Amino acid sequence: MNISVLGCGRWGSFIAWYLNKIGHNVTVWGRKESQNLSRFLKYRNNGIIFFDEKVKITSDLGKALSNCEAVVISISAQSLRDLFRYLSDFDLSNKKIILCMKGIEENTGKRLTQVACEYINKDFTDIAIWVGPGHVQDFLKGIPNCMVIDSDKKSVTKFLVDEFSSDLIRFYYGNDLIGNEIGAAAKNVIGIAAGILDGIGYESLKGALMSRGTFEISHLIQAMGGNPLSAYGLCHLGDYQATLFSEHSNNRQYGENIVKKQECLKLAEGVSTSRALKKLSEVYNVELPICNAVNAIIDKKTDPKTELSNLFLRPVKIELRRFPGEN
């Protein structure tokens, strides 16, 4: 396929490298002012990813979109709407757009496919998502993983899974767009909570965090019309190892830096997602105690240790919710 990857950050550049590696014709687009783009244009690498001569690199959006069959987007979730304002000037008919991002629009609480669909004609342009666990550093070492592709059209899901699968990434067929989008975005907030636990020396509470985090997100997915079991799949619980434990996780590191009062210069999508989830918890009347605690720590500057101690170590008599089989 002729595929254009919009975004040349850590994940976008890996996707371009991967799709080229498995035999597709790849063009990478980045903003003219992007330092990542400048490095690729000058050196064809960013210190982690190296593009061979077959990968085309451009800052011309029109050139990137011409003659491509699929458009893979990997940018900050909160920048997606601005990008689509630019994309709306181009003919996207008969193209497949794949969103490789994990977030929820902060100001509206909309899923990213909902944002995209405001600017495309779904009768002529297909939309899909690519989510699941994995870090660039591990993939480049040849360590395989499993991920998910989902769309509201089964034929699109099947086509992309067949085109993108390899020995390095085994793709599963998604069948719950709502659940996979919300689950993938929300795991970043749980990742920040995990980093906070690391920072205060309460790593032993990660077991409770994982079980309770999945439980509360499953309730939100159900309230939004998705399958609550999706929270227990690769989009959410299946991504916990990479997000809650890995040294490469930006969200986990962000949480740890909060406790240490250190600045985190890398993008942590969970920050904006925590604000969006707070809105969604109110709209759908679903309790999200972990997500709301993370949001309070970030926005209200509440004490991390006090906030999470109150959440996990409170007396049983005031527990808001118990799991089946727990008294």
Residues with a known catalytic role: 187
d(CA 197, CA 205): 7
Instruction: List Cβ neighbours of 16 (8 Å cut-off, separation of 6 or more).
Output: 5, 8, 26, 28, 49, 51, 55, 72
Answer yes or no: are the C-beta atoms of 235 and 187 closer than 8 Å. yes
The residues with which 169 forms a beta bridge, in sequence order, are 145
d(CA 33, CA 118): 27
Instruction: Classify the C-alpha dihedral 140-183-191-253 as positive or negative.
Output: positive
Instruction: Quickly tell me which residue has 């309070």 as its tokens.
Output: 296
d(CA 112, CA 139): 25
Using CB atoms within 10 A of its CB, is residue 322 exposed (0-12), middle (13-18) or buried (19+)? exposed
Euclidean distance between the first and final Cα of the chain, in Å? Answer: 55
d(CA 302, CA 317): 24
Most distant CA pair in the chain: distance in Å?
64
d(CA 274, CA 295): 5
Instruction: Classify the C-alpha dihedral 308-288-211-180 as positive or negative.
Output: negative
Continuous H helices in the chain: 10-21, 35-43, 61-65, 80-87, 112-117, 136-140, 154-164, 177-200, 206-223, 240, 250-260, 270-283, 289-299, 304-312
Tell me how many degrees the CA angle 103-232-220 measures, rounded to the nearest 5: 55
